[in-house]
Structure 1
Amino acid sequence: MPVAYHRLRRFAVLAPVTALALVATLAGATLAVRAHTPSPLTRTDAEVVEDALPRLEFLRRSLDDGSAQRMQQLFPEGHLFLHVLYGLSWVDVGTRSTAHRDRALTEARRALAEVDSDAGRAPFSPALDPPYGVFHAGWSNWLRGGVVRLAGGPTGAPAEAERLATDAAALAAAFDRQLGSTGSPFLTAYPGQAWPVDSTVGLAVLRLTDHLAGTDTYTELIRRWRTAADERRDPATGLLPHRVDPKSGQPVEGARATSQTVALRFLREVFPADATRDWATFRTRFASTVPGAPGLREHPRGVDLPGDVDSGPLILGLSASASVVALGDAVVFRDRRTAAALTGLAEVTGMAVEIGGQRRYLGGVLPVGDAFLTWSVTATGWIVPTTESTAPVGGPSPWWRLPWLLLAWWLVPLG
């Protein structure tokens, strides 16, 4: 009896210790593996699509459960972003895989219908020029252009192509009026408020419309836009400013990562050489100074300000949203070092779990974050093929993983 008692007592002591050791070993191994997750640039199209499908399945189920409405309560454009990014990611999946093209078209059209619905337009004013503002006009028509492109051109999606042509003409007229009356290239997204990033999406729509139709209708307007935008760059960084005076277009807030990462994705489709130069500048000026976290600062190095409604909470000056979107930039600019670092960072910090064919990050509590990450992972060039990019030299050091590997080594029990 005493022997059995001592064995039971020893088991009671050792069992929790053994379980803790196993958990620590698993956590350490998981960290080490996830830090080395291959980026989209080192995967084949088939591998990227295979990785994207469970992400999209989670987003589809999440949308069916009303996540767009919940995100709208947290972000001014939560409903639109969740639907439009879901649709854009499907367009990229269909571009990468002919086997999934029909499904991609169906899902992209479903997303477009939501973006064009009363709920999709609700946050925006019909009195703006163009109606509902450049934000809604830009993102909705970029997705519409993606549907036309994926369908094989205007003949494959005549209804969407006709609507795209009509909306592009309205966008162009609004840009022309703004340039002619104030000299500013930046349209308003909300009454009395203008962010240059929104106008870069609208400008890319004009370029895509010409590209799909095989015309050069908007070439001169795009040239005028570029000249005016260059005259209104942030003097501190040489990049497009975050926010401008809605009438003059002059900067009232310097460049920030939240808007810059989105703007660069679209500017590359219109001005690839200029955008590559700006990507190099941005990557240097906004690079993280936090060991083990090769993400993007919301503000340039040397500028320490808190987060706001645009950036969300900042962690040691880093913007999680900008870092996620920058992964897509790194993919289209073919910046292998940055893409590898941002992929690894997303995997070690996102705590992804895949259950029942659905992959979600941070428990799926913020689906719009999953949507942005999926858009980045699937990124392709729509007008300028990604294969035509030549990334600037430099980028995060491969040694960024060292703190995570040390943590993994510490977690794995010795002996």
Structure 2
Amino acid sequence: MTFNDLPQELLSLIVDELLDTKANLKTLSTVSRSFLSLCRLHLFSTLRFNGLNPSFDYKCRALSDIIKRDKSILLNVRVLEIGPPVFRLRERAPNLLSEHWGKMLRSGLPSIHDDRIRQIIEGARNVQSITLRFEHQSWLKFSTPFRNTILNAIRRSAVSFLSLEDISDFPIHALRACSGLHDLSLICINSVSANSEGETDEVPESQTFLHGLTLYLSDECAGPLMRSLLATSSALSPVHLQRLSTSATCNTLWLTLQEMPTITRSITSLELRIDRQEGYGGGYGKCNLNDFPSLRSLLVSTPYIRQKRSIYHLQHFFEKALLATELQELAVFLRHEAVGFEAEEFEGAFGSQDLIEICQDRDWLRLERQLTSGRFPSMSKLEIVFRPKDVASFMNETLQSVLQQHLMRNVVNLHRMANPSIEIYNDRFEQYSAQLPGTL
């Protein structure tokens, strides 16, 4: 008996046991054709082209060579991520990024605008998750074949997650044809196009309901997006939206939602991000918790500088909720952002002693009074997350325990009600930057 004679179930079990590393799968794929077929399902299930040049170009060439031998491998792709997150990568390799950014500006087109990439997108017909980053270039600069490839890909019924990042003049109304979409993310969509590219007036036989929506630095597209999705010709509807993640000062979105209360009634999870550029006092804009009658979970992510009294302004946000809510879980993320900080703010910020002082801040008492005032009777969980610039030197359970004790002594009543927990971790490279392209 050879490996080719083994039953498919047994081969699958062997492959599943060796999924830990790609090296194991590559070795196993050389044993027999049966193993090769199974390993391909895993080796090519996720394709990520998110590095800077020359790495981006190298990966394109390597995969193109494989595709020339067998195009069918693209049918195994389920997750597709194309384009570098340039402003998040600037901290890791500023010199390399400057070179990459300079070449891209001279060409006037992003890395993603490539015939090899277009071939990959066209061939990945079973993809379920798509992330496309356009490096702050205009959709109108792209060639017609490339634009058609993008629009055809995002409209496939198999696509359930879509993230479009760093682009201007995108035809936002084209999203109404995304019949399989459940989660949509629009990051830094600077402006939208009014042309009819990708638009249809045909009434769909059925509608898909959008469950999750992320809008960050995309204020201009909020109104057109909602109006487009609520049109009778839209195959995608936001009326049963469950999760909304956005910048708290996306006032166009809040005004649009106030005009369309059917959307906010179903939202159970709300994530708000306050950017340092938006200020601390007025950083919550027109957002009001009473606009979300079904809200169960709230996450607020805000930068923390001691002199700006972020916690004090947070309690003002809860003060605006005049009616009782069904809020059960609250998470407060206090971020230390190194990018753009003045020297005196950056120096020594968010060390272990700084974290202790934050937990001792008397403004927690103001927040405690708001949360225990009777307007949040269902709240049973409070999570406080510190996001320092660098936690490697003091990230330990002892520090977390010390912080917990200081906070507990500071807000006794809140501790009884919601039993606050404290976490410390660093995700500075995963944060979206509000820096404009010209600041690089």
The structure richer in helix per residue is 1
Greater C-alpha Rg: 2
TM beyond 0.5: no
TM-score after normalising by structure 1: 0.30
TM-score after normalising by structure 2: 0.29
